[in-house]
């Protein structure tokens, strides 16, 4: 009857191993596989022991039993740690395995010395071989202590997980606890209750049933593995793997449909020798290798647009290569292209409207300046000419930009130049249209046009979004009659206190006044005008602008000669 008990348990453990292998999945924890295997080995040892005919056969069978006994508790504990998401470092893992191997080494000495068993006998009782252990050796005590430590570790981890961790099924934690408890009780207390047979092999069978239930549930709870299986099975995502040397490792059917060239590749051969792979895959991998943030690329085939997402190929915690995840991105890309076209069209319309508004705004400013100029008998064409003078001076300043002028500033001062005399609209006609030089009191009235011009410019441009232009235009109108030595008007500003745009405008304004004909004077020769301008450097004008005026002078003379011919 006892022999039948052990034979049946061994047969059941084989059936359990077959069931496990039948449901086995590559994502299963390796410790489950080892545990189911070593339980069968341990139960084989029990069965062989009861069928032994001699002491030597019984000792050999017992060594087989201990092979399972030593490693089953280890693998069961590691299964608990893995399921409870407790990670032990590699050095500790190696130490535990080394300890078990050393212990089993002492098991193999039984019958030769007294380290594991000091005294054993063998007898056959009612046809059943029995190994009688009269006295245990010191290493057997060590063996029981180590196994008790493994059991205790598993219990502590399970209890901690049950109460503290939310990412592990509490139901499975209960099953783990039950499996450990049954095994612990049978290992340390079974022989005291049942004298004639071992309870442990039956306890291991019960534990296997519980572990099969846990394995079944883990397939559902492990979102990562379930997602990967579903992803591959569904077939909508292409998968391609490469090692770090760009050798081809494999792909799924979806990927081979997208890249038929994969069917011609040989596993473990470099993809650099395939033209299509070199053009696309190698180029993508090179960019990803340089910066792993460059992990998304698009591949167009016919009317389809595929998104290729590159990730590292991971084995446990180690990076082993690269993996392509390929999905159909056609709908999203067409939508994005449509939106881009719409945005581009909309931007073009906004740009056209904006340019039209700016053009209308500029024309309004020029019309107002022209209207003001038409009231002044002495300054016909002054607006146009001074604007061109400013442009010529700015072009020279930009060539050696000691003032560090921005492109916007240069555009703004040229654009603001026509507004410098807008304040003359507030000057009385009797003064403004006088055909001769002003009397002192008349000149005082004329001086008011600078401050009045700044006020008018500010009012005109108060609604503009371009604050920089408004400031430049106000400064040009307000301060273009200020002098470097502080003798100008309306505020008597001096040197750097005069805005740069006003200093540039002052040169253009005076130069035009000198070389142009007025009702009260004839035009002055370029040589005489140049002499006056040069004498004014450091007094009337900013001397730092002198080199730029000198370089601009030929262009200024050429411009005025052309204007004189067109009259």
Check: CATH 3.40.50.2000 for 355-566?
no
Q: What was the pLDDT predicted at 533?
A: 92
Q: Are 420 and 386 in contact (CB under 8 A)?
A: yes
Sign of CA dihedral 510, 515, 516, 517: positive
Instruction: Read off the pTM.
Output: 0.45
Q: What was the pLDDT predicted at 567?
A: 58
3-state SS class at 376: coil
CA angle, residues 117, 144, 80, in degrees to nearest 5: 140
pLDDT tens digits for range 49-90:
888 999 899 899 889 988 888 888 888 888 888 878 788 888
3-state SS class at 132: strand
**Other residues' Cβ atoms within 10 Å of the Cβ of residue 460:** 17
**What's the CATH code, domain 2-226?**
1.20.1070
Residue spans per domain, the chain: 2-226, 235-328, 355-566
pLDDT at 379 exceeding the cut of 80: no
3-state SS class at 462: coil
Q: What was the pLDDT predicted at 467?
A: 86
Distance, in Å, from the CA atom of 179 to the CA atom of 167, rounded to the nearest integer, reads 20
Q: Which residue has the higher pLDDT, 293 or 518?
A: 293
Three-state secondary structure of 268-321: CCEHHHCHHHHHHHHHHHHHHHHCCCCCEEEEEECCEEEEEEEEEEEECCEEEE
Q: Which residue has the higher pLDDT, 460 or 364?
A: 460
The residue written with tokens 């005069």 in the block is 498
Report how far apart, in Å, the C-alpha atoms of 445 and of each of 195, 335, 477 are.
Answer: 129, 66, 16
Report how far apart, in Å, the C-alpha atoms of 341 and of each of 260, 335, 358 are.
Answer: 33, 10, 25
pLDDT tens digits for range 192-247:
565 666 788 888 888 888 888 877 766 544 444 444 555 555 557 888 989 999 99
pLDDT at 322 exceeding the cut of 80: yes
Q: What was the pLDDT predicted at 150?
A: 86
Q: Are 545 and 496 in contact (CB under 8 A)?
A: no
Q: What was the pLDDT predicted at 220?
A: 46
Helix (H) or strand (E) holding 134: strand 128-136
Residue 291 phi/psi, 5-degree rounding, is -155, 110
Tell me, which fold does domain 235-328 have in CATH? Answer: Beta-Lactamase (3.30.450)
Cis amide prior to 497 (ω within 30 degrees): no
Q: What was the pLDDT predicted at 222?
A: 46
Q: What was the pLDDT predicted at 499?
A: 94
């Amino acid at each position: 009857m006892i022999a039948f008990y052990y034979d049946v348990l061994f047969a059941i453990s084989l059936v359990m191993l077959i069931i496990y292998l039948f449901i086995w999945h590559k994502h299963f924890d390796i410790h489950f596989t080892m545990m189911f295997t070593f339980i069968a080995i341990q139960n084989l040892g029990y069965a062989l022991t009861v069928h032994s005919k001699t002491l030597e056969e019984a000792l050999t069978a017992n060594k087989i039993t201990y092979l399972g006994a030593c490693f089953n508790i280890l693998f069961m504990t590691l299964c608990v740690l893995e399921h409870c998401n407790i990670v032990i470092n590699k050095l500790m893992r190696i130490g535990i395995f080394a300890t078990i191997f050393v212990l089993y080494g002492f098991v193999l000495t039984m019958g030769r010395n007294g380290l594991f068993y000091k005294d054993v006998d063998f007898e056959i009782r009612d046809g059943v071989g029995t190994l009688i252990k009269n006295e245990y050796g010191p290493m057997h005590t060590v063996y029981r202590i180590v196994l008790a430590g493994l059991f205790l570790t598993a219990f502590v981890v399970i209890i901690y997980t049950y109460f503290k961790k939310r990412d592990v099924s509490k139901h499975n934690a209960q099953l783990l606890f039950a499996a450990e408890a049954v095994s612990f009780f049978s290992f340390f207390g079974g022989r005291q209750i049942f004298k004639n047979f071992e309870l442990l092999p039956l306890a291991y069978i019960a534990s296997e049933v519980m572990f099969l239930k846990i394995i079944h549930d883990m397939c559902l709870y492990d979102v990562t593995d379930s997602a990967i299986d579903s992803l591959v099975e569904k077939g909508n995502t292409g998968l391609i793997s490469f090692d770090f040397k760009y050798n081809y490792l494999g792909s799924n059917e979806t990927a081979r449909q997208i890249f038929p060239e994969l069917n011609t590749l040989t596993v473990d051969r470099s993809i650099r020798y395939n033209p299509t792979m070199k053009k696309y895959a190698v180029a993508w991998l090179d960019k990803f290798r340089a910066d792993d943030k460059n992990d998304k690329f698009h591949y167009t085939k016919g009317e389809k647009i595929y998104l290729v997402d590159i990730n590292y190929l991971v084995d446990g915690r180690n990076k082993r290569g690269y993996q392509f995840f390929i999905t159909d991105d056609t709908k999203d890309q067409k939508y994005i292209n449509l939106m881009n076209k719409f945005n581009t069209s909309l931007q073009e319309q906004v740009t056209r409207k904006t340019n039209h508004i700016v053009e209308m705004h500029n024309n309004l400013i020029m019309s107002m300046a022209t209207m003001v100029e038409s009231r002044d008998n002495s300054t016909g064409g002054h607006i146009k000419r001074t604007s061109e003078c400013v442009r010529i001076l700015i072009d020279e300043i930009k060539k050696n930009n000691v003032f560090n002028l921005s492109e916007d500033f240069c555009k703004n001062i040229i654009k603001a130049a026509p507004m410098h005399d807008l304040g003359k609209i507030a000057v009385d006609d009797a003064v403004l249209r006088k055909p001769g030089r002003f009397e002192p009191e008349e000149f005082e009235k004329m001086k008011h046009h600078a401050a009045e011009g700044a006020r008018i410019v500010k009012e005109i441009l108060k609604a503009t979004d371009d604050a920089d232009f408004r400031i430049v235009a106000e400064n040009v109108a307000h301060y273009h009659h200020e002098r470097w030595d502080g003798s100008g008007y309306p505020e008597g500003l001096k040197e750097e206190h005069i805005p740069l745009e006003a200093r540039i405008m002052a040169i253009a304004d005076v130069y035009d006044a000198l070389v142009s004909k007025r009702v009260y004077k004839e035009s002055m020769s370029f040589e005489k005008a140049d002499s006056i301008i040069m004498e004014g450097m450091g007094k009337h004008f900013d001397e730092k602008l002198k080199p730029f005026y000198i370089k601009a002078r030929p262009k200024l003379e050429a411009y005025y000669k052309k204007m004189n011919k067109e009259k």
